[in-house]
Amino acid sequence: MPSEVSGRIDLGDVTPHNIKLLRKVNTVVFPVSYHDQFYLNLLVSGEKAKLAYYNDIVVGAVCCREDTTQGARKLYIMTLGCLAPYRRLGIGSKMVEHVLNIVQKDGNFTSIFLHVQINNESAIEFYKKFGFSIVETKQQYYKRIEPADAYVLEKFLTPDTKLQNGDSSH
């Protein structure tokens, strides 16, 4: 039975040798394209950019960056995606947990946020399980895709927030 088959999930560094795999995953998973500079910046992102492996096969990736608008230090999830055949196997959760570990180890982020296309109900529900909530709607956020609007999902952090799978600070 497929549900009993367990695979090994690992996260690995993005390097000049595997960055083309990251570009390919993003091309397949996301309805938008990313420029060369996006990928060049990831090569110096350290823990903020990881490839996801399932039994040694690249099947997803997470890419984040710091955002310091309005004096608040936030972690922005630029991309977090997994190839469709490998969804619901815990790979996305492993990537979110990695992001949560980054902010927990650092201790000085006020929140984590991302944009999700308003019709992507499965992604919205996925992030809500980790304590994210919709805080804003950005009209015409996306170019050349419909719907063009995006929700901003954000998880606010406090020094005593328990960053465990599915827990929130409530």
Residue type, 94: K
17 included as an active-site residue: no
Letter for the amino acid at 118? I
Whether a cis peptide bond, with omega within 30° of 0, leads into 31 is no
> Which entry of 34, 54, 86, 115 is annotated as an active-site residue?
115
Given 17, 34, 54, 76, which residue is catalytic?
76
Cα separations in angstroms, 123 against 73, 83, 90, 116: 24, 13, 14, 7
For 68, residues 6+ apart whose C-beta sits below 8 A from its C-beta are 74
Distances (CA, A) of 78 to 2, 21, 81, 162: 31, 17, 10, 23
Whether 110 contacts 72, CB under 8 Å: yes
76 is catalytic: yes
SS3 152: strand
Task: Provide the annotated active-site residues.
Answer: 76, 115
